[in-house]
Amino acid sequence: MNSDERKKLNMQDNEESILTGPPTLDDILPIERDLTVFVDFLKASKELSNIIANPDLSLTLFAPTNSVFRNLTHKPSHVTNQSEDPIEKVQKFALRYVVPSVYSSFSDGELLDTLKEGSKIKVEKNEDGSYKLNGRINTISRLEAENGVVYKIDGILEEE
């Protein structure tokens, strides 16, 4: 038995290893160790969780890394009074990072609509091929999935 046959047999023995097609956003996000905080924000809202899990929707996500959240003085779930719902606050925060189209590249100066009504992201091209968002946040790397693209970013997109 050659190594390819052994790999195929091992995959059949272990149901979790069987590939059913290209990975979706819902497949790749949970395994990115430096995005766990952002993924938790996405999963905190049933609506957002369903959007990310839907393989028929094409999305672009701008995902702040865990180190970005560690350095924040006010967390996105921080409420200032009893009438605020922390889950709703997190959902509104996360919607600003989800664009309802797939963008593998951008035109310099492109303005993107997000899922949060009235929220836009301005994209500028850096000399190194990465992108700057809203004039100050940089993309670090890009992950591709069957139904979208995730850009890891080095900061928080502030409300305009």
- Flag whether pLDDT at 19 surpasses 90: no
Give the whole-angstrom CA distance, residue 153 versus residue 160. 18
Q: Which two tokens stand for residue 74?
A: 């006010």
Q: What is the pTM of this model?
A: 0.82
Query: H or E element: which one contains 112?
Result: strand 110-113
- H helices present in 23-112, as ranges: 25-28, 36-44, 46-53, 66-70, 86-95
Closest CA to 131 of 158, 92, 157: 157
In the block, tokens 């970013």 appear at 153
**CATH architecture group of domain 21-153:** Roll (2.30)
Domain boundaries, the chain: 21-153
Residues in the chain: 160
- What H or E segment, with its residue span, contains residue 6? helix 3-13
35: helix, coil or strand?
A: helix
Average pLDDT for the chain: 85
Is pLDDT of 130 > 90? Answer: yes
Task: State in Å, rounded, how far the first CA of the chain is from the last one.
Answer: 61
Tell me which of 104 and 76 has the higher pLDDT.
104
pLDDT in tens, 31-59: 999 999 999 999 988 888 999 999 999 99
Give residue 108's pLDDT. 92
Q: How confident is the model at residue 78 (pLDDT cuts 50, 70, 90)?
A: low
